[in-house]
A and B are shown apart, each in its own frame.
Chain A
Amino acid sequence: MSQSHASMAVQMDTRTGATFRIEPLLGLCIGALGGALQGSLLASSLVQTILCGGLFGLAFGLFFAKRATSPGAGLIWGLAFALLMWIVFPAGILPMLAGASSRVMLSDARERFPQLVAFVLCLGMPVGTTLGIWGGLHSKVAQAKFSWGRAIVAGGFAGTVGGLIFSRWVSSGDYFPLLAGYGQLTVSRSAIVILHFGVALLIGVTFGLLFQRDVRGYGSCMGWGLGYAIFWWFLGQLTLLPLAAHRPLDWSADQGAAVFGSLVGHILYGLILGVTYATLDRFWVRLFIQSDPLNREVEGAGVHILRSLGWGAAAGLVGGIIASPILLATGVLPRVAGLATSFSGVRGILIHLLVSALIGMTYGLLFRNEASSLGLGVAWGWLFGLIWWYAGPMTLLPLLQTGVCDWSTDAASALLPSLMGHLIYGAATALTFMVLERRYTRWLLLDPRIAAREARKVRPVGTPAPALWLFAMGLGVLLPILLG
């Protein structure tokens, strides 16, 4: 994790021209095949879908191939590119050119939801992964060492732990979020439980295998977990499980809305998967890599963690103050304060600020060392806000207040306004945290050893983080809007 060093930044500019010619061709072929698959699955014009798929693959091969340095990186870039293309063309330009109104445009986008699934699964996934495998095999730049054992063990364990968060439903046997797309399960309960944990294990192992080099800290790991969980919702719930149940594929928005609860479950699973994987991975790195005297840093991590918690608390406080008008207006704040009926000023605000500070501490702990500039810091902050929207008002808050969490589209619709407050909270927290951290580290950077260490810690340009932001942010916000 920590080994994905600055070499990646160099890597993007040093690939040879020879591979540059092959990759667009490869992208074209895979894209055309994906387009054909899309055409056959959606019963669309084959010529049109093959042409679109080919163009998609060609564009990806031309412009994104340098970034697809591993299957995991290729997958994330491919998914994000697919989403962007869907937003720009089927959901954006085409209805606009047709002069559609807001309502029509939304219903049009809902109707084109199957295309979104097809873009993600037939174009983004195969093109990105294939070029990622190609890039990984043919890259001439030395990459961080990949450890199969670390990926499988940490990923598998994290996946299984992630699966345990549904143990309440699993033990009562009434709901299996990771298997919701299968429909009615007719096998014995023990078989369902095994299947549930089998899927969790599979997602975890593949997570470790795909993203070992990309994830660096707890925060980014959660981001990757979120993105990968959304992807698995498309792949597992909407595609593989119905196929396993011998049902026809249904990629409609209605089917998406029917398994929306499973999406929230997947997202929470992804977050747990990410943070558990990061914990295990960091533990592994600490035990077997950082303990090596050759990799020794000037000072230990303990002091920096304590400082990050302090800055996170202060930043969370600022974020809470800035976001409180919106949370108040949208009716979320009284619920956060634990007062279901009426909002009593001082007590409610104090509890809200306390919660904000505590959540801010998690930002400090999880997202330090992810961004090198204020802009990148704010981007992680948006994602942090989105994560807390799914984890907080969608899950923890109802769970703490009523013992039951409602993951339906209706609940998501009701909470949609508070999403804005959470995004603002995340951005304000991240911005304040970065300002505080910079204020402190600026003078330490006069020490060349510290400067070198800080440079190593910061995520270099060229990793799939921007693609992850678009994919996770875009779908994290878009799906509740489209499916609600």
Chain B
Amino acid sequence: MNRSVRRSLIGMLAGAAASVVLVATLGHPLVSVVLGIAVGVAYSASLDPTRGAYVDNLMSGGALGVPLWGLVSVIAIPLFSNRMPEWSAEQIRMHFPSLVGWVVYGAALGLLSQGLSDLAAKMLGPEVAPKSPLSSEKTRVVILGGGFAGMRTAECLEQQFRSNASLSITLVSETNALLFTPMLAEVAGSSLEPSHISTPLRSSLHRTEFIRGRVAEIDLAGRRVILDSDAAAGDAGQRRGIPYDHLVFALGAVSNYLGMANLEKYSFNFKTLLDAIRIRNHVIEMFERADREADPSRRKALLTFVIAGGGFAGVELAGALNDYAHGILADYPKLLKEELSIVLVHSRDRILPELSESLGRYAQKRMEDRGVIFRLGTRLTDAHPGAVVLSDGEIRAETLVWTAGTAPNPLVKSLPLEKDKRGALIVDRSLQVQGHPNLWAVGDCAAVTDAKTEKPCPPTAQFALREAQVLAKNIRAQVDGRPLQKFHFDSLGALCVVGHQTACAELTVPFSRGRSMRFSGLLAWLMWRGIYLAKLPGLERKIRVLMDWTVELFFPRDIVQTIELK
């Protein structure tokens, strides 16, 4: 029997039986019985039955009688009798017998409904619980990648489908945390603790199954994602397959070394948390080695740090390393400031091409003032141990960080799907991979074209997050058989920190057809910190980062080596 029907019947019977007391005290037999039944049904329906809870129901019902007395005897009955409720205390006191009646009725109702509930359980068995939502799953969405795009897609799908369990969501990622990349340079510069800018995916997602693993291949025909075997776990050779109905590519990008093998071999990458930790520890290692090095030229090479790429990542890293390296000089009294060089190599004639020229020039000037050396219009052609080869010469340096180029994840390359010249999956205006209604792509691994401007969307986190929102809506729409939404987003602007309490910001003015406002210096730096702190996922992370920043104001940055570098 349906749970609601069963509870209603129990409530009706119990209420009718208990209404004998109401008849005796209220004096209107029909009204009393109807009231008794109505309250009985409401009482039974609103409480989850527990076997043998007689005294609990006795007391609950009795307590219920007190407000019911006020509602019904003092207010409702006079109103329905075309009289105004009697509001004076003396008149209310005249209802005292009905107060007793309601309390006794409530107590009897509680006892009887419990008794009938137990009887029904004995004769008919336990209540039939509503069908478990998990058993009726139909549509399986698998998201590949746990970066901004993947994580946001999962979050939006959770919001779109809420308690609708007809959809299962699985997220596969090589890392178990979302890295907040805008603050990555601060980890390399030892301003922030590494884990403070990473949010665990498992904690943030509620109904999404999270699988940490590397995708080996995708069986598009069989609609299965094949995961690499986990040799460390002893299941080498055993590959796990994950079936899907919708597959979302949010794999992000990897560094693109433009075919220069030595660069890949001798440079540091700057994409992951581990990269940032390695760079920080390497910088400390260089200082330690330089401290015991007697040869001045060798010492200078140890203290020369070359960053390739003048985009956001390269500039922010150069600024952070410059501050850090100059700051820790105080701990190495044998080393001279003149021996320290932070060199930024960029192939164009100005840095930060994403920002307007004036801001790019401002950033360069401020960084030069703080000690960063720029080699603009220069290409990096090769690298050897202890040397970086440029198109116009060579720099003796033990450290090279590569931020100059990215390419979509190599997995995308292996797929028989249409790609642009960068190697990104071409998607239509609704973010569906062309010709494949069950394949979707967002973020850096997708070639997205804005439906309104018809311009390609830049591979930035800002766009990835909005693409993910539209994608989740479109999956919902496709499941529901509704038309899909086309992607359009106007950039909100960009911010870049260039050094201690100095930044550049260019923010789009809303509804102004692309006009923007430019900020620089301390104000822009405060905006940068405020905006990115607000965007950092999780309250706990925000507090930790805020504490790191506060500590940094009063104490020097740490020079403890946390990993051993060979």
Contact = CB atoms under 8 A, between A and B. Distances in A.
Contacts of B64: 379, 382
B461 interface: no
B59 A326 contact: no
Interface string A422-463: 011001000000000000001111110010000000000110
A413 interface: yes
A63 interface: yes
Contacts of A379: 60, 63-64
Given A87-B104, A88-B104, A470 B63 contact: yes
Interface stretch (B158-166, B236-244, B284-292, B424-432): B158-166
A420 interface: yes
B66 A84 contact: no
Interface residues of B, number: 57
A390 to B, nearest CB: 15
Interface of B: 24-25, 43, 46-48, 50-60, 62-64, 66-67, 70-71, 74-75, 84-85, 87-90, 92-97, 99-101, 103-104, 107, 133-134, 158, 161-165, 203, 206-207, 539-540
B366 to A, nearest CB: 38
Given A444-B206, A473-B66, A416 B56 contact: no
B71 A382 contact: no
* Residue from B51, B100, B162, B165 whose CB has the most chain A CB atoms within 10 Å: B100
Interface of A: 9, 12-13, 63-64, 67, 77, 80, 84, 87-88, 91-92, 96, 102-103, 105-106, 109, 298-300, 302-303, 326, 329-331, 372-376, 378-379, 382, 385, 412-414, 416-417, 419-420, 423-424, 427, 442-447, 450, 461-462, 466-467, 469-470, 473-474, 477-478, 481, 484
A419 B71 CA distance: 11
B59 A102 contact: no
A470 B50 contact: no
Contacts of A445: 163
Contact of A420 (B48, B51, B71): B71
Nearest to A60: B55
Given A443-B207, A446-B134, 17 more contacts: A9-B50, A77-B55, A84-B58, A102-B96, A105-B100, A303-B539, A326-B75, A330-B87, A376-B47, A379-B64, A423-B67, A442-B163, A443-B158, A466-B60, A466-B63, A469-B59, A484-B93
Contacts of A467: 55, 59
A466 B96 contact: no
15 contacts: A64-B55, A84-B58, A92-B104, A102-B97, A373-B47, A382-B64, A414-B89, A424-B70, A443-B164, A466-B63, A470-B60, A470-B62, A474-B103, A477-B70, A481-B99
B89 A88 contact: no
A369 B466 CA distance: 35
Nearest to B207: A446
Contacts of B107: 84, 88
A91 B59 contact: no
A470 B59 contact: yes
Contacts of A91: 100
Nearest to B46: A375
Contact of B97 (A105, A447, A466, A484): A105
Contacts of B134: 446
A461 B93 contact: no
A417 B95 contact: no
Closest 9 CB pairs of A and B: A375-B46, A469-B63, A413-B89, A466-B59, A443-B162, A447-B206, A443-B163, A446-B207, A375-B47
Contacts, number: 163
A382 B67 contact: yes
Contacts of B53: 12, 461-462
Nearest to B101: A92
B70 A446 contact: no
B70 A420 contact: yes
Interface of A is mostly: helix
Contacts of B104: 87-88, 92
A106 B96 CA distance: 6
B96 A373 contact: no
B87 A417 contact: yes
A329 B87 contact: yes
A106 B25 CA distance: 13
A163 B480 CA distance: 62
Contacts of B60: 375-376, 379, 466, 469-470
Contact of B100 (A9, A92, A450): A92
B103 A63 contact: no
A382 B66 CA distance: 9
Given A466-B56, A470-B62, A446 B206 contact: yes
B94 A103 contact: yes
Nearest to B205: A447
B207 A427 contact: no
Contacts of B161: 443
A9 to B, nearest CB: 7
Nearest to A381: B67
Contacts of A412: 89
Contacts of A423: 67, 70-71
Given A88-B107, A374-B46, A474-B66, A12 B52 contact: yes
A466 B161 CA distance: 37
A329 B85 contact: yes
A331 B85 CA distance: 13
Nearest to A484: B89
A84 B56 contact: no
A325 B199 CA distance: 50
A80 B66 contact: no
Contacts of A416: 89, 92
A373 B49 CA distance: 10
A467 to B, nearest CB: 5
A473 B97 contact: no
A372 B48 CA distance: 8
Given A91-B100, A106-B96, A466 B163 contact: no
A376 to B, nearest CB: 7
B52 A13 contact: yes
A473 B60 CA distance: 11
A373 B48 contact: yes
Contact of B74 (A414, A420, A444, A470): A420
A305 B513 CA distance: 41
A13 B101 CA distance: 32
Given A373-B46, A417-B89, A420-B74, A84 B55 contact: no
Nearest to A477: B66
B89 A375 contact: no
A1 B203 CA distance: 25
A84 B103 contact: yes
Contact of A109 (B54, B92, B96): B96
A227 to B, nearest CB: 11
A288 B203 CA distance: 23
Contact of B55 (A13, A67, A382, A474): A67
A93 B100 CA distance: 9
A382 B63 contact: yes
Given A106-B94, A446-B133, A462 B46 contact: no
B88 to A, nearest CB: 7
A311 to B, nearest CB: 16
A469 B106 CA distance: 13
A379 B67 CA distance: 9
B99 A478 contact: yes
Contacts of A481: 92-93, 96, 99
B164 to A, nearest CB: 8
Contacts of B57: 466
B94 A102 contact: yes
Nearest to B96: A106
Given A379-B64, A478-B99, A420 B539 contact: no
Contacts of A444: 206-207
A477 B99 CA distance: 10
A442 B89 contact: no
Contacts of A427: 67
Max chain A C-beta neighbours (<10 A), residue from B52, B53, B57, B93: B93
